[in-house]
């Protein structure tokens, strides 16, 4: 059902039209002139507008001009008592979607509403597509060079043309949403909406209302029917980010919607069919959550048909320089910025716990710190520091009664440090509080050195 604004200086006309529309399940708001209507449009979303042409102060034609200037593209149906071919053509030139005549013919009104709402849906889709195309440029472009990312993008391209459910896993900031958008743009649904939902950002008691919508009167404050993300994404792609944060009590309804391709709004009884492609993402270990009864096994089976894992940035260092240059180009205020060899080495040594997102933030900060010199040096990037875990300096290893092999402890700590630093020796040395030279000596003195080399330590 639609939310419709009625604009007319005659109180009787406003209430008559409102009564007709609400009798068919629509919700309405009213305004006595164009200015009053424009104020409502700035703070509320309407699916369509019925507006008289001739009104005191701001008339219907002026309202359309104000809407165009404010980039409000809600379709307008003019109300007129002077319906001629010439006046109808003139109204269309002014930007009207259609017109109705006084006195009202109820059936013609509902035919007009149905036709205009289809136009409203197309306008919304076009706006969504424009926004997606804008986001596809600049900071949100998929940039990579490493073999690991080539394989990931190849997997994404292979699954794109099907409607198979995809689960993208990886640490925060690795680019899970970018891969999801890539899948969407390569799919048969690319001309439809891509609707991202961050499950972690929704209050647990509002999750179902956000995903499935609600009926008017479903709860206190539900003054009108509201569609949810599933319904909004119909025919397109619904991206459920941080799916691991979906409350357990909401997972059953999610599973039913995915299995049966229909759902009920909160407070409603009507089954609403929906056709969406589902892509999920998480930085959590969902199978471990299943084992702890924090996530439904059947839902995991449903969303994990085609898994894609994105490696952290520290494990695909070939991507660091092209990404850094890309961000420099995106964030530059004027002129050209370039990385010195020292700066590039600093970027390679840093373990990037925040991954690509942190790299983008670092490049934005570096541009500011260069003070328009155009060169980013290792000194510019001095803010990139490896933070030791809290309490690390207070760590004490207790000696067992029967003693311990020191070499075993050293080997364990070295392996942990290398893993945390993405197999970078310089960063691993810092984690252990050693110089790079001392760390190398330690490696040479470990009997299991050959085993470490097979795991791939980078200098």
CATH of the domain at 403: 1.10.10
What is the largest distance, in Å, between two alpha-carbon atoms of the chain?
A: 103
Q: Of the candidates 89, 107, 131, which is a domain's last residue? A: 131
Mark whether 156 and 303 lie in a shared domain: yes
- Encode pLDDT of 50-65 as tens digits: 998 888 888 888 898 8
Report if residue 136 sits inside a domain.
no
Residue 173: left (phi > 0), alpha (psi -120 to 50), or beta? left
Of 71-75, 78-82, 448-452, least confident by mean pLDDT is 448-452
Query: Which pLDDT score, from 0 to 100, does residue 119 have?
Result: 75
Mark whether 270 and 150 lie in a shared domain: yes
Residue 179: pLDDT band (50, 70, 90) is very high
- Encode pLDDT of 320-368 as tens digits: 999 999 998 887 755 678 899 999 999 999 999 999 999 999 999 999 8
- Encode pLDDT of 370-422 as tens digits: 877 889 999 999 999 876 544 444 455 667 777 777 777 888 888 888 877 77
Phi (first) and psi of residue 316, to 5 degrees: -140, 65
Residue 286 predicted with pLDDT over 90:
yes
Query: Which pLDDT score, from 0 to 100, does residue 387 have?
Result: 60
**pTM beyond 0.85, yes or no:** no
Query: Which pLDDT score, from 0 to 100, does residue 393 have?
Result: 47
Residue 297 predicted with pLDDT over 50:
yes
Is the CB of residue 254 less than 8 Å from the CB of residue 246? Answer: yes
Is the CB of residue 366 less than 8 Å from the CB of residue 400? Answer: no
Report if residue 268 sits inside a domain.
yes
E strand residue ranges, 189-345 = 194-198, 237-241, 262-263, 272-273, 277-282, 306-309, 338-339
Report if residue 389 sits inside a domain.
no
Mark whether 152 and 77 lie in a shared domain: no
Mark whether 287 and 328 lie in a shared domain: no
Residue 445 predicted with pLDDT over 80:
no
Residue bearing tokens 């009202």: 104
Q: Give the count of domains, the chain.
A: 4
Q: What is the mean pLDDT of the chain?
A: 86
Average pLDDT over residues 203-208: 90
Query: Which pLDDT score, from 0 to 100, does residue 180 have?
Result: 97
- Encode pLDDT of 95-131 as tens digits: 788 888 888 888 889 899 988 888 777 666 666 655 5
- Encode pLDDT of 207-263 as tens digits: 999 999 999 988 888 888 899 999 999 999 999 999 999 999 999 999 999 999 999
Is the CB of residue 152 less than 8 Å from the CB of residue 308? Answer: yes
Mark whether 171 and 271 lie in a shared domain: yes
Q: How large is the angle between the packed helices 320-331 and 341-349, nearest 10 degrees?
A: 120
Query: Which pLDDT score, from 0 to 100, does residue 251 have?
Result: 96
Q: Domain limits at 82?
A: 3-131
Using CA atoms, how far apart are residues 440 and 442, in angstroms rounded to an integer? 5
Report if residue 381 sits inside a domain.
no
DSSP H stretches of helix in 49-174: 60-69, 85-93, 106-136, 147-160
Query: Which pLDDT score, from 0 to 100, does residue 51 have?
Result: 92
Using CA atoms, how far apart are residues 126 and 86, in angstroms rounded to an integer? 30
Query: Which pLDDT score, from 0 to 100, does residue 391 have?
Result: 45
Is the CB of residue 200 less than 8 Å from the CB of residue 242? Answer: yes
Mark whether 53 and 187 lie in a shared domain: no
- Encode pLDDT of 421-439 as tens digits: 777 787 788 788 787 778 8
């Amino acid at each position: 059902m639609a939310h419709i604004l009625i604009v007319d200086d005659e109180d009787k006309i406003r209430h008559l039209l409102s009564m007709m529309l609400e009798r068919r399940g629509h919700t309405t708001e009213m305004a006595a002139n164009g200015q009053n209507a424009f104020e409502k449009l700035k703070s509320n979303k309407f699916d369509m507008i019925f507006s008289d042409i001739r009104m005191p102060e701001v008339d219907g034609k002026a309202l359309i001009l104000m809407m165009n200037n404010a980039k409000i593209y809600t379709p307008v149906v003019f109300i007129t008592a002077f319906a001629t071919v010439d006046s109808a053509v003139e109204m269309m030139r002014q930007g009207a979607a259609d017109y109705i005549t006084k006195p009202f013919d109820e059936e013609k009104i509902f035919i007009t509403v149905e036709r205009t709402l289809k136009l409203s849906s197309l306008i919304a889709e076009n706006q969504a597509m424009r926004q997606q195309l804008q986001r596809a440029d600049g900071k949100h472009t998929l940039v990579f060079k490493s073999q690991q990312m080539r394989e990931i993008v190849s997997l994404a391209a292979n699954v794109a043309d099907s409607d198979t459910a995809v689960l993208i896993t990886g640490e925060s900031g690795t680019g899970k949403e970018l891969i999801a958008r890539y899948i969407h743009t390569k799919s048969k649904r690319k001309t439809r909406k891509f609707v991202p939902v961050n499950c972690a950002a929704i209050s647990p008691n509002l999750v179902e209302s956000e995903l499935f919508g609600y009926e008017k009167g479903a709860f206190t404050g539900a003054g009108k029917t509201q569609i949810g993300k599933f319904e909004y994404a119909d025919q397109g792609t619904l991206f459920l980010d941080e799916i691991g944060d979906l409350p357990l009590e909401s997972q059953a309804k999610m599973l039913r919607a995915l299995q049966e391709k229909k759902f009920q709004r909160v407070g409603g009884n009507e089954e609403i069919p929906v056709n969406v492609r589902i892509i999920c993402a998480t930085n959590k270990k969902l199978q471990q959550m299943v084992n702890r009864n924090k996530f439904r096994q059947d839902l995991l089976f449903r969303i994990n048909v085609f898994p894609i894992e994105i490696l952290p940035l520290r494990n695909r260092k070939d991507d660091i320089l092209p990404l850094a240059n890309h961000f420099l180009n995106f964030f530059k205020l004027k002129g050209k910025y370039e990385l010195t060899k020292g700066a590039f080495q600093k970027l390679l040594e840093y373990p990037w716990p925040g991954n690509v997102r942190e790299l983008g933030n670092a490049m934005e900060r570096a541009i500011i710190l260069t003070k328009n010199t155009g060169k980013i040096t290792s000194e510019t990037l001095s803010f990139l520091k490896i933070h030791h875990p809290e309490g690390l300096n207070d760590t004490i290893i207790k000696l067992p009664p029967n003693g311990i092999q020191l070499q075993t402890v050293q080997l364990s700590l070295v392996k942990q440090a290398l893993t945390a630093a993405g197999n970078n020796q310089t960063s691993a040395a810092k984690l252990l509080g050693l110089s790079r030279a001392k760390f190398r000596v330690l490696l040479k003195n470990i009997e299991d050195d050959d085993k470490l080399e097979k795991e791939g330590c980078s200098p």
